Amino acid sequence: MLKPKIWIIGQYISPEQFGYHSKYHFIAQKIYKSFDILIISADKSSHHDFDLNNRESKIRVFEKVKYLLLKSDYNSNSKISKILSSIQFALKLTILTFFKRKPDIALITIPNPIIGIILLPILKISRVKVITEVRDIWPLAQKELYAIPQYHPYYIIFKLIEVFNHRFSDLIISPLKMYDKYLKDYKMSFKNYYFVPQATKIIELKSNDSSNKDVIKGIYSGDINSFCAFKEFLEAVNITSKKHNIDLTMIGGGDQLDFAKKYVKENKLKNIHFLGKTTKEELFNIMDSNKFDFAISLGPIRGKELFNNYGLSSLKILDYMNYNLPVFSTVFNSSCSDLSKELGGYFCENTDPLDISLHFDEFLSKIKDFKIRASNCRDFLLNERSIDVVSQKLEKIFISTY
């Protein structure tokens, strides 16, 4: 008997050695014996790079997982580049769908909903069952994060696309903890909905005691751009460093990186170090060798109501929790995040530099208490967010959908 054929479609998916979005790579490794799985991803993006010499579309196998890698010509982290890359990715995949054996089920995990509206019609015509994973609420995000009104064409377009994707998908899933509340609040029409949380591979934990007890060592991994409260956080660190002996490692790239380096140099902040962008594998190597005391999660400058109402599905927070690290976070509250106060989360729901510095001071003053709370993070991940747990949920969904 042929195994059900599953396409997992997501332009950022890759193994850890090439990028950050590795959840479905590990899930595919867990369930490939039950299903014929093909992951369809872009060969490179602002989030990953397979570093292929021959960039033509080809089937490749990484750690027993089959990939179809589509060439991408738009790889920057800008908003327009992300939209263009999604359009190109969806169009190429739509063309390929005409010439390949159709899957039984297609799971579309979308960074933005444009992929769905292009690809979904051809899949439905081909009688493929479609599961759409919503990772970000694009219509509401454009309204809140970019301060555009509801009657703005950009908002209207994405709202119509959202309605289309929800109406014609056979199943909607989301890692956002309160996405069902969003569906009710906005009276979204859909057939079925399931909460399927983010997943992380439980890594081998090495001792995380700081080698220098006089220095409190922190790590930030993510975008260094004007979208998040990065500038404000640097100003807060400048204030807080006068009271606490801290050392910060900042990993990532973006439009504020040059400004950040200049700010650190001009203010003689020798306790802040920029390492640039890394893969997840490289990030884990850095975390293994540096013995950090805490981690930093910086939310966007705007959008407080969006994330506090409907949830946060940050992969990096799970990475921090894997190391039992307490996390200092701006904007988000504990009710909509996997990270809670009981697990060492500290939430500053403002982005004013002085306010951040006051909260950061309190967090650092009680860092020992937060580290004790964070020591339970891995138990939570093992029971609720491990690859094994989420793979079992998805396997049941695939079987019931098939």
Asked whether residue 48 falls in the same domain as residue 175, the answer is yes
pLDDT value, residue 55: 59
Residues 257 and 193 grouped into a single domain? no
Does the residue 205 lie in any domain?
no
248 neighbors 272 (Cβ within 8 angstroms): yes
As for how many domains the chain has, the answer is: 2
Same domain, 189 and 291: no
Among the listed residues 323, 344, 340, 320, the one whose alpha carbon sits nearest the alpha carbon of residue 332: 340
Contact 335, 308 (CB under 8 A): yes
**Alpha carbons 326 and 293: distance in angstroms, whole number:** 7
The partner residues of 62 in beta bridges, in order of sequence, read 65
CA distances from 209 to 40, 206, 217, 291, 321 (A): 40, 9, 10, 6, 15
Domain match, 24 and 121 both: yes
Q: Taking the mean position of all CA atoms in its chain, how far away is CA 109? A: 12
Q: For residue 204, is it within any domain?
A: no
| The model's pTM | 0.89
The pLDDT tens digits for 122-173 are 898 889 999 999 998 888 888 887 788 889 988 999 899 999 999 999 999 9
The residue written with tokens 């799985």 in the block is: 37
* Largest interatomic CA distance in the chain: 68
* Cα–Cα distance measured from residue 402 to residue 396, given in angstroms and rounded to the nearest whole number: 10
Q: Are residues 292 and 359 in the same domain?
A: yes
Residue 331 in any domain: the answer is: yes
Task: Report yes or no on 211 lying in a domain.
Answer: no
pLDDT score recorded for residue 208: 53
Residues in the chain: 402
Asked if residue 253 belongs to a domain, the reply is yes
Whether the Cβ atoms of residue 115 and residue 88 lie closer than 8 Å to each other: no
Helix axes 315-322, 280-290, angle to 10 degrees: 30
Q: Specify if 298 maps to a domain.
A: yes
- Together in a domain, 166 and 43: yes
Domain range spanning residue 99? 5-199+386-401
Q: What confidence score (pLDDT) does residue 211 get?
A: 52
User: Is 185 part of any domain?
Assistant: yes
One domain for residues 237 and 343: yes
Same domain, 19 and 83: yes
- CATH number of the domain to which 182 belongs: 3.40.50.2000
Residue 130's pLDDT is 95
Q: What is the mean pLDDT of each run of 10 residues along the chain (402 residues)?
A: 90 90 94 94 86 73 93 79 84 77 89 84 91 90 83 90 92 92 89 92 72 84 83 93 94 88 92 90 89 90 76 82 93 74 89 92 96 95 95 95 90
Same domain (yes/no): 221, 348: yes
- Residue 209 has a pLDDT of 55
Residues 313 and 296 in one domain: yes
The answer to whether residue 187 is domain-embedded is yes
- The single residue listed with the structure tokens 């109501």 is 305
Write a three-state SS string for the chain.
CCCCEEEEECCCECCCCCECECHHHHHHHHHCCCCEEEEEEECECCCEECCCCCCCCEEEEECCEEEEEECCCCCCCCHHHHHHHHHHHHHHHHHHHHHCCCCCEEEEEECCCHHHHHHHHHHHHCCCEEEEEECCCHHHHHHHHCCCCCCCHHHHHHHHHHHHHHHHCCEEEECCCCHHHHHHHCCCCCCCEEECCCCECCCCCCCCCCCCCCCEEEEEECCCCCCECHHHHHHHHHHHCCCCCEEEEEECCCCCHHHHHHHHHHCCCCCEEEEECCCHHHHHHHHHHHCCCEEEECCECCCHHHHHHHCCCCHHHHHHHHCCCCEEEECCCHHHCCCCHHHCEEEECCCCHHHHHHHHHHHHHCHHHHHHHHCCHHHHHHHHHEHHHHHHHHHHHHHHHC
Q: Are 12 and 108 in contact (CB under 8 A)?
A: no
Looking up tokens 């301060």, which residue turns up?
Answer: 147
pLDDT in tens, 66-125: 999 998 888 876 778 878 888 888 888 888 776 677 899 999 997 778 888 888 998 988
Do 263 and 363 lie in one domain? The reply is: yes
Is 102 found in the same domain as 42?
yes
Closest to 320 measured CA to CA, from 195, 231, 203, 178: 203
